[in-house]
């Protein structure tokens, strides 16, 4: 899941980004309202964490312009202000939730996951491909009754593949959604992590869940369907 964090306190922004990445999110940072507005309108995100007190444009103004441009991405407002009027202003402008600093990171994660669930209620809560299942909320992967241990990056890659089951995905698409929109390293990092996944979800069970499509990328299928 891709998250845009618009926060001018760079230390706090980096801390939020590190925590979200450990939870399997792909994070893009912006430190001004102007940059945040540009990224939110030019790129696709699943959710936006938006501070109110920002240089350039305030969070209120960023939110107002986003909704004016029909950008429906869920927005969680993040601010040091605490009061009924501030919350009411944010909600009236189109915010989906509101969190006051200082906050519990556990609560932030829970609020973001709740926003994602409300945005896409049609998506199954547990993803499956044959006997392989992935529970995004509980961060669990199982093959049958066997629980598998994945790193955060492996989990994010598998979740992305499973959410697009049966669809051919290019390396560029995978990098953009599992790594970062501005990742500049070699594309073969995808091959490396696909290899890691195969050793954990396929090799022990004699399956071939992730197909290599030469010249294209990868596709996740139900084992045995071809």
Q: Is the pLDDT of residue 30 over 60?
A: yes
Name the band, by pLDDT with cuts 50, 70 and 90, for residue 120. Answer: low
Q: What is the Cα–Cα distance from 3 to 24, expressed in whole angstroms?
A: 11
DSSP 11-26: HHHHHHHHHHHHTT-E
Q: Is the pLDDT of residue 85 over 80?
A: no
Digit-coded pLDDT (tens) for 147-170: 999 988 899 899 989 988 899 999
Helix (H/G/I), strand (E/B), else coil: 65: helix
Name the band, by pLDDT with cuts 50, 70 and 90, for residue 44. Answer: confident
Q: Is the pLDDT of residue 123 over 70?
A: no
* Lowest mean per-residue pLDDT among 33-42, 95-104, 199-208: 95-104
CB-CB contact of 93 with 63 (8 Å): yes
Element (H, E) at 159: helix 152-163
Query: 49 is written with which tokens?
Result: 């964490």
Label the pairing between strands 2-6 and 26-30: parallel
Q: Is the pLDDT of residue 87 over 70?
A: no
**Mean pLDDT for the chain?**
86
Cross-sheet strand order for the sheet of 140-143: 127-129, 132-135, 140-143, 146-148
Name the band, by pLDDT with cuts 50, 70 and 90, for residue 26. Answer: confident
Mean of the pLDDT values across residues 22-31? 88
Q: Is the pLDDT of residue 124 over 60?
A: no
Contacts of 223 (CB under 8 A, 6+ apart): 129, 130, 131, 132, 202, 207, 208, 209
Residues in the chain: 226
């Amino acid at each position: 899941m891709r998250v845009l964090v618009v926060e001018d306190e760079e230390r706090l922004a980096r801390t939020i980004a590190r925590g979200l990445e450990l939870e399997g999110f792909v994070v893009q940072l912006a430190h001004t309202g102007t940059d945040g507005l540009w990224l939110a309108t030019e790129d696709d995100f699943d959710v936006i964490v938006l501070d109110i007190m920002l240089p350039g444009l305030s969070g209120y103004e960023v939110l107002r312009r986003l909704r004016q441009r029909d950008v429906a991405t869920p927005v969680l407002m993040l601010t040091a202000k605490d009061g009924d009027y501030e919350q009411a202003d944010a909600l009236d402008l189109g915010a989906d939730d509101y969190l006051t600093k200082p906050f519990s990171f556990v609560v932030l994660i829970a609020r973001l996951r709740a926003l994602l669930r409300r945005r896409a209620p049609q998506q199954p809560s547990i993803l499956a491909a044959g006997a392989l299942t992935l529970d995004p909320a509980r961060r669990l992967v199982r093959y049958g009754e066997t629980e598998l241990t994945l790193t955060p990056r492996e989990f994010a890659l598998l979740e992305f593949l499973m959410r697009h089951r049966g669809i051919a995905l290019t390396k560029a698409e995978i990098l953009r959604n599992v790594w970062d929109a501005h990742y500049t390293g070699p594309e073969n990092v995808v091959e490396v992590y696909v290899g890691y996944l195969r050793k954990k979800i396929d090799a022990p069970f004699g399956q071939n869940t992730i197909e290599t499509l030469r010249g294209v990328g990868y596709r996740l299928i139900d084992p045995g369907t071809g």
